[in-house]
Amino acid sequence: MTRVLVVGSGIAGLWTAIRAAEAGCDVTVVTKADLGDGATGWAQGGIAAAIFADDAPARHAADTLAAGAGLGDSEAVRVLTDDGAARIRDLIRFGVAFDRDDSGLARGLEAAHTRARILHAGGDATGAAIQAALVGTVRRRGLRVLEHTTLVDLVVEGGRVVGIRAIAAGRAGGASPVNGGAVVTLRADALVLATGGAGCLYRHTTNPDVATGDGVAAAARAGAVVADLEFVQFHPTALAIPGTPLISEAVRGDGAVLRDAEGRRFLLEVDPRGELAPRDVVARAVWRRMAEQGGAPVVLDATHLGADRLAGRFPGIDAACRAAGFDWSREPVPVVPAAHYAMGGVATDLDGRTSLPGLWAVGEVARTGVHGANRLASNSLLEGAVFAERAARDLASAAAVPASVPAAGDPTGHAGPDAAARGVSERNSFDTHEGAAVVVREALQALMWEHVGLERDAAGLAAASARLDAWRAPDVVDRRTAEDRNLLDLARLTAAAALARTASVGAHTRRDAPVPALERQAA
């Protein structure tokens, strides 16, 4: 029986665990917080799939490739969109109650989609509904779960990943504590990284505090190829209050518009699609208009939708706005861009295999190629389901053949120096400055926001790289120090990737390079 270790408990991790167990694998799920925590439960907008009569997977694929600014992998996108309908049916069988209307399943429109194909549950609680259904399935089936157990490093023996080292301050299956604070080795025949994204690289993010890039950093230290780290998606509409809670793309899909400080709707000056242009276009337009008005936020105007519609369709956002003192049915609310999603990650093939035998990656931690330079709205949950299904089918054999992924010398592919030969890293990170000051997370986040954020240039990226290289990681003794080491390693790799890609494309905008053609023509 193949022993499978799944690190992470969002849609991709839990889906992989459930399906691998069904295939006869001995599965253990490891998660650094509670089983139900993570970015999946925060997803508001919904899940995209071409399941309606006026739509087709090929149309969904075309929209996905267009949003990715020409850098998406067409075969990966075909798999994503062709398999979408089957995965929606699976979610319904798992117990997800998608919203319905008189025609059947309700659907919404979001930016850069040419058809209304976004399914939602509980209005703006789609991710929470999916997370609850999958957690319930894991619990009912009795899968082994280690909560509050933090990934430290991959264990590599003979060129193959055979497990992880972890700080096990957690609970087994939600029961008694396990080796509180001890570093343990968990061995397996196959390791699946499903650790999510890295929004906490930045001062402002829509992500939960678990999004610290643990899987990408650990994989890079072990020598796995990582790619496209320069492509970080900034969501254009986060509420401009501490914590920057997300205001879903679906609100603009329902007709809300963005206005500047003088009340002008400015997006049509940038792109003929206005508020429904791809996220990178809208986020840049918001960022630049804020700069023109002295840094003041722009506002999202949904007042014409009315109080009943807003509360019924977007109950979570409605509650967040009102808790912050805004009645968005009567007044526009201030919004700013915030780090939202990582298009890059551990490079995989179409079955989740990485360049290291024994290691798979699924979900946001993986770079499957479906997102290219910019993710199409509501494709993230779909990617998690589609590629987790494929990885689970592949796991039972757990063969040692690595995937065909970008070479480490490619400008968009990176691997940790000599990490594969070292096995488990004996160093805290890629540090070379033994006497350097220990990194402070808040300083790193501020640096990344300023120089490796929504807009970059060579001078700022070089300055950021020098500052990052001058810091060293803390000794890893608990979850916080493990996360800080991962953030430092990933920040260095991200800055290097952004410096190497000298052209502006998708979510990677260089102030010292020409703007994308569509924006130039529309200006």
The dihedral sign for the CA sequence 299, 300, 301, 307: negative
Other beta carbons within 10 Å of 334: 17
Burial of 146 (0-12, 13-18, 19+ CB in 10 A): buried
Unique residue bearing structure tokens 């970080």: 232
Contact between 372 and 341 under an 8 Å Cβ cutoff? The reply is no
| 279 included as an active-site residue | yes
Rounded CA-CA distance 133/90 in Å is 11
Cβ(452)–Cβ(498) below 8 Å: yes
55: CB partners within 8 A, 6+ apart: 115, 117
Q: Are 344 and 366 in contact (CB under 8 A)?
A: no
Query: In 3D, which of 392, 389, 391 has the Cα closest to residue 84?
Result: 389
Residues 6+ apart with CB under 8 A from 71: 228, 372, 373, 505, 506
CA distance 511 to 460: 10
| Helix/strand/coil for 168 | strand
CA 44, CA 381: separation in Å to the nearest integer?
Answer: 11
User: Quick one: which H or E segment has residue 287?
Assistant: helix 279-292
Cβ–Cβ < 8 Å for 380, 90: no
Taking the C-alpha atoms of residue 332 and residue 258, their distance in angstroms, rounded to an integer, is 9
CB contact at 8 A, 236 and 283: yes
* Beta bridge partners of residue 469, listed in sequence order: none
- The residues with which 359 forms a beta bridge, in sequence order, are 191
Structure tokens of 165? 């080292």
DSSP code for 356: S
Return phi, psi of residue 95, to 5°. 115, 10
d(CA 259, CA 210) in angstroms, rounded, equals: 33
Select which of 78, 279, 289, 353 is catalytic. Answer: 279
- Name the residue among 93, 85, 87 with its Cα closest to residue 52: 85
Decide: helix, strand or coil at residue 162: strand
Query: 3-class DSSP state for residue 382?
Result: helix
Which residues participate in catalysis according to the annotation? 279
